[in-house]
Amino acid sequence: RRNWATRDMGPMTVKEAIAWSCNTWYYQAVAQDPLGVVDRLAARARLLGLGEATGLEIAERTGLPPTRAWKREALKEPWYPGETLSLAIGQGPLLATPVQVARMLASIANAGQKPTLHLVKRIGQREVRPQLTPVPGRFWTVLQEGLRKTVKEGTARHVLGDFPVPTGGKTGTAETPGKRAGLEHAWYMGYGPAEPGSPYPPLVVVAFFENGGEGSRVALPAVRKVMAAYWQVEEAQAR
């Protein structure tokens, strides 16, 4: 297992690992106890809204944060240590919908307040408001700073580094077994404003392109266009 870069990227903090999508950092984080960590990863994923309905008023899939028990029951196989390394970077049997990822990002942006999601704004005179569920944790600032670092100096800098609204985000490239390189699923999740004092309204955007390749090549520019349109920022300014 190696990183996406062809060079040694050296020691990294967690914020830098987020910013540069450093796979090997995450491998090292779980490698000492891969069988003990897997269920903890799944539990944390569920706290952030994966594996459950988001609240939308339409049918939706709940996805799958896999556990050792799930694999024994569903596939009649034990969980192997190497699978935890894949899970640590969002690969393997993990399943999540784009709207679940958006909800997860909103929870991080809101410092651990997980919202229910709705398409319906009002029923008669009654306004539909999202309910917030607190998610335990003391690491929200670290995650927010890592996501901001992605845009300021990491894998999203070339597209959003000079964007007039401060944003944070994460690129993603999901491998597709059995298909050639370049047909990975492309992801980008972004939010803003990512710094206090901004006059712009809050926004979370997730782009997913099936077999789109690297997230930074197609999903990231798509999110930039949505952000520019929503905040009414001129395209020339957003470049």
> Cα–Cα distances in Å, from 116 out to 122, 128, 148, 177?
15, 11, 24, 33
**Structure tokens belonging to residue 100:** 């679940």
- Contacts within 8 Å (CB) and 24+ apart, 26-33: 26/85, 26/88, 26/89, 27/1, 27/85, 27/88, 27/89, 29/88, 30/84, 30/85, 30/87, 30/88, 31/85
Domains, the chain, with CATH or none:
15-238 (3.40.710.10)
Residue 15, token pair as written in the block = 């914020």
Question: Each residue of 102-134: pLDDT tens digit?
Answer: 999 999 999 999 999 999 889 898 998 889 999
Q: What is the pLDDT of residue 238?
A: 47
pTM: 0.91
Q: Length of the chain, please?
A: 239
Q: Cα 12–15–21 angle (5° rounding)?
A: 75
Residue type, 92: G
Residue 145, number of CB atoms within 10 A of its CB: 18
Indicate the SS3 state at residue 192. Answer: strand
What is the predicted pLDDT for the residue at 179? Answer: 64
At 200, list the tokens: 């712009």
| Whole-number pLDDT of residue 236 | 52
Alpha-carbon span 108 to 113, nearest angstrom: 8
What is the per-residue burial (b if ≥16 Cβ within 10 Å, else e) of 2-30? eeeeeeeeeeeebbbbbbbbbbbbbbeeb
pLDDT at residue 70, as a whole number: 98
pLDDT in single tens digits along all 239 residues of the chain: 556 666 677 789 999 999 999 999 999 999 999 999 999 999 999 999 999 999 999 999 999 999 999 999 999 999 999 999 999 999 999 999 999 999 999 999 999 999 999 998 898 989 988 899 999 998 999 999 999 999 999 999 999 999 999 999 999 988 777 666 667 889 999 999 999 989 999 999 999 999 887 778 899 999 999 999 999 996 555 44
